[in-house]
Amino acid sequence: MLKKQLFLVLAGVAAILMMYFAGKTVQNKKTIPEVAKAIKQFDIEHFTDSVTALLPDNQQASLKTLTTNIPTDSVQKSTRFLKIADFWRDSAHHTEPYLYYISAASKLENSEKSLNFAARLMLDHLRMHNDEVAAEWMTREAADLFNRAIEKNPNDDDLRIGLGSTYIYGSGRMGNSADAMKGIQEILVVASKDSSNMKAQLVLGVGGMVSGQYDKARDRFLNVIKHEPNNIEAIAYLADTYAVLGEKEEAIKWYNKSKILVNDPHYSKEVDERINRLK
């Protein structure tokens, strides 16, 4: 079952789709496995120190200027952290330090808006991340940000869906069944109040995939498509679900539907390769 889950959520066409819509991360992926092997548990400060040592001298000098004499005032400190985040995104091209400083800045500002922004940024990158050790850290960090935002606005269903999505797309997707169920329970809070919330229904479908409940996942995606016929994410996930269930004709039908909607030659090539493997 675990192999099926990994095949589905890590290599599935829905994951490919997210890459096309969300764009590539700024991560230099070569360094994560090396650092992860060395420390066996992701430590953002250790990781940041490790990749800093690999930067060219001029970039190390720029970073040292930014990280020296950081103000103690929370507003000024938040502003400095945002500048450091920009450095990691625009100059050094490393995702994790970038997200770390965005997260730290948002906690200092401590507004619902800033916490929500940082949480969703973390979640967007988490959905495309396949390094288990780093994804665990990102899951905890995003969950903390969403929880802080929910404290400020407990009735915001989108925040609750974001929190549940974090566990499902993050550590749950990596095989942590307890976190997968935790995410499902968070989103069921929203779905139980409003069954017509298709955003909740979609993520519950993904939760079904991650937890191996493929029949339930299929039904969730079909429900979303019934209400939103051109929901490309639901269609892509449905195709992957049918593939895992062994219903090849249905899988191919929905893969082809996704190709029409995305209308991108690179995406179509990826989907065609998956279709050929099914035949």
Per-residue pLDDT in tens (0 to 9) along the chain, 279 residues: 433 444 444 446 666 666 555 544 344 444 444 544 444 578 999 999 999 999 999 999 999 999 999 999 999 999 999 999 999 999 999 999 999 999 999 999 999 999 999 999 999 999 888 888 889 999 999 999 999 999 999 999 999 999 999 999 999 998 899 999 999 999 999 999 999 999 999 999 999 999 999 999 999 999 999 999 999 999 999 999 999 999 999 999 999 999 999 998 988 998 999 999 988
Query: Using an 8 Å Cβ cutoff, are 218 and 241 in contact?
Result: yes
- pLDDT for the residue 18: 64
- pLDDT for the residue 131: 83
CA distance 266 to 176: 32
Query: Using an 8 Å Cβ cutoff, are 14 and 234 in contact?
Result: no
The full set of domain ranges for the chain reads 2-278
Joined together, the tokens standing for residue 2 give 């675990």
Q: Which residues contact 127 (CB under 8 A, 6 or more apart)?
A: 18, 22, 169
- pLDDT for the residue 19: 58
- pLDDT for the residue 12: 65
CATH superfamily of 2-278: Tetratricopeptide repeat domain (1.25.40.10)
CA distance 107 to 128: 24
Return the DSSP state at 197: -
- pLDDT for the residue 32: 47
Report the phi/psi class of residue 195: left, alpha or beta, with left for phi > 0 and alpha for psi in -120 to 50.
alpha
Joined together, the tokens standing for residue 80 give 């400095």
Burial status of residue 79 (CB atoms within 10 A of its CB: 0-12, 13-18, 19 or more): middle
What are the Cα distances from residue 21, in Å, to 24, 112, 194, 267?
Answer: 9, 26, 27, 11
CA distance 207 to 229: 21
3-state SS, residue 267: helix
Query: Using an 8 Å Cβ cutoff, are 242 and 234 in contact?
Result: no
